[in-house]
Chain A
Amino acid sequence: QVQLVESGGGLVKPGGSLRLSCAASGFTVSDYYMTWIRQAPGKGLEWVSYISPSGKTVLYADSVKGRFTISRDNVKNSLHLQMSSLRVEDTAVFYCARGDDSDAFEIWGLGTMVTVSS
């Protein structure tokens, strides 16, 4: 069964760090484009970052560039998002998702909530 399960969310103070994980089952993450997309409470979707199957292409939204790092663990078949210098406005549900290309994502996880607050 093709599935994505996010973990690692929680409450963190402004300026702090957090590492999100996304465990994949039923497929190999290195065969697909993998992305992180977030949704602030009551707000719309915002693309955060994606990594290509080869791993050579990694892109970030301007709002997180220099603070977030996407990575992949091919042995554990998982995707990660290292977040640092967190801001209150980073508070959101973070989803990981899979796509055949970098423009559309068909398989989504249930999301993990990140709350940045003092």
Chain B
Amino acid sequence: QSALTQPASVSGSPGQSITISCTGTSSDVGALHFVSWYQQHPGKAPKLMIFEVSHRPSGVSNRFSGSKSGNTASLTISGLQAEDEADYYCSSYTTSSTLLFGGGTKLTVL
């Protein structure tokens, strides 16, 4: 299975909102409600930001939100802050019970 498709980079100014897309197929993103998003700062381990499309783990800011439409999931970050600058990865459970990640999106806060 091919990786999920994410834009290589997005950028925004402090205070703005940005959205990162994650496109899959009817065998993964489109089939199930199990899309997650991870934030990774350089040299650090990934951090779970969103699970099951739109749920936030305890401690994650409500500036982070997730949604899904058809085969595409989205992560929106509102009120952009300098500390949000990082790589973001989506992942989806598949109909084969495996996991697929997206290629990652580098977020730059201008």
Contacts and interface: CB of A to CB of B under 8 A. Distances in A.
Interface of A: 35, 37, 44-47, 50, 57, 59, 61-62, 95, 101-106, 108-111
Contacts of A108: 45-47
Contacts of B36: 103-105
Contacts of A46: 101
Contacts, number: 60
Main DSSP-derived SS at the A contact region: loop
A57 B96 CA distance: 12
Interface in B71-104: 89, 91-93, 97-104
B57 A59 contact: no
Contact of B91 (A45, A95, A101, A111): A45
A45 B3 CA distance: 10
A66 to B, nearest CB: 15
A50 B99 contact: yes
Contacts of B101: 37, 44-47
A5 to B, nearest CB: 11
B93 A102 contact: yes
Task: List the 3 closest pairs (A to B, CB-CB), nearest first.
Answer: A104-B51, A103-B34, A47-B99
B45 A103 contact: no
Nearest to A106: B48
